[in-house]
Structure formats: C-alpha cells, structure tokens
Amino acid sequence: MSEFIKAMKFRHACKLFDDKRRISKKEIVAVLEAGRLSPSSFGLEPWHFLVIESAKVKKALEEAFFGQPQVATSSHLVILLSRKAKFFKQTSEYLDEAFGRIEKDIKAVESGKRELISFLENDLEADVTSWAKMQAYIAGANMMTAAAALGIDSCPLEGFNAKKLKAALAENIPEFDKKSYKIALAIAFGYRAGEQTDQIRWSLEKIVTFVK
C-alpha cells in the first residue's frame, strides 16, 4: 500500500482529541503549506486561513459548532475563509493583483479578468459565493491528507451555524475581516483520544463508471 493511501486510511473524522497533545509549529506549518499549494480556479487562491490555538477563543466558538467536543479539544482549529462575491468584478483590485502575478501587461490582466467574469456569469452553474467556497474545500482536503501523512488527526467541521460562527469570530478575533470573507468550512487538527471507529465507504464499483 502506498504512503498516500496509507494516509487516506489513517484519516478519519476524529470525534475527540487528546487535549494534552499539541501539534508542533513546524508540523502545523507543513499542513498549512499543503493548503497554500493547492490548486484553485483561475489560480486565484480566494482563501484565508484562521489558525486558532487559543483555548479561550476555541471555547468561545464552541456553541456555534453545537458544542462538538472536537473544537475545544483540538490542538489547532483552522477556519477556512473564502472571498466574497464582490471581489470577482472587473474593478476588483484583488483580481488586478492576482492576475498581475501571471500577466505583466495591463491589457492581459484586463483580458484575464474579463474571461473570468464571463465564465462566472455565463457558464458556471453555481453562485459565485459557493464557487469561492468550493476552492477552499480543495485546500482543506489537502490539509487533512497532509496532516494524516504526518500522523496528525483531523475532523472537517461543516456542522456549524454560519451566522453564529461569524458573530463569534468577529467578537473574538480582531483580525477576522468579515467584510471580505465568508466561512467555507472549519477543520480541527490534533491527536486522537482513544480508538476510532472504522471507515465506512461505498465500494469503488458503486461510485465509478468506466467509459472505454
């Protein structure tokens, strides 16, 4: 079995962490790096990661997560934010900066922006806010697998009340830029407390159709 599949099998939604074990700085940075290097639509990386180590802040967010024990027992709680729809406009300075990294010519930047906006308006079958969140899911998936490869457990947390969590973030984290970002998902990282349940999955035959 390859190292990668081993990591995929190690990974499970950890329901309770050992709250005495902390992830080292070096290892949490490696996990975040896997998120940073992830692909995104048009290479826009429309995300920001809040990495919460503070026990006090984790406690303050717990209620928005319906009291799930992963939040407070985790070593690091990462909130993956995604850019709001207003950033994906022809006049967006963020897009100027993003496209400007690839295209040096102002005309090429303007054309890249037009192509993106045309895609979002005419071809995409989702709203722009959800599309930006989808990009953050790519980063989140890679973070969890990267963590598993390091023997670090994780739990993806979509189960939160979005309004309550936003309010709690705004109240407890002065750096949280609520005017620019939506909450895409959260992931708790740490080390498992005790045995975990088995992985349950549909068979490959059930979920794959080969077209030869």
Binding to a second copy (CB under 8 A): which residues in 64-103?
Answer: 101-102
Show the site string, 100-139: x = touches a second copy by CB under 8 A, - = not.
-xx----------------x--xxxxxx-xxx-xxx-xxx
How many CA atoms within 13 Å lie on the side-chain side of 26? 1
Query: Which CA distances in Å does 54 have to 27, 60, 75, 210?
Result: 17, 10, 9, 48
The binder of a second copy chosen from 39, 86, 90, 121 (CB under 8 A): 39
Residue range at the interface with a second copy (CB under 8 A); choices 16-24, 83-91, 105-113, 156-164: 156-164
- Closest distance between a second copy and the C-beta of residue 73, in Å? 17
- Closest distance between a second copy and the C-beta of residue 81, in Å? 9
- Closest distance between a second copy and the C-beta of residue 137, in Å? 4
Angle at 18 between CA 13 and CA 19, to 5 degrees: 115
Residue range at the interface with a second copy (CB under 8 A); choices 16-24, 47-55, 85-93, 104-112: 47-55
Residue 156 found at the interface with a second copy (CB under 8 A): yes
Q: Yes or no: say if 156 and 52 are a contact pair by the CB < 8 Å rule.
A: no
Residue 43 found at the interface with a second copy (CB under 8 A): yes
- Closest distance between a second copy and the C-beta of residue 90, in Å? 18
If the CB atoms of residues 105 and 175 are measured against a second copy, the closer one turns out to be 175
Residue 24 found at the interface with a second copy (CB under 8 A): no
In 3-state terms, what secondary structure has residue 110? Answer: helix
Angle between helices 106-122 and 93-100 (to 10 degrees): 120
Q: Give exposure, 153-182, as e/b (b: 16+ Cβ within 10 Å).
A: bbbbbeebeeeebbebbeebbeebeeeebb
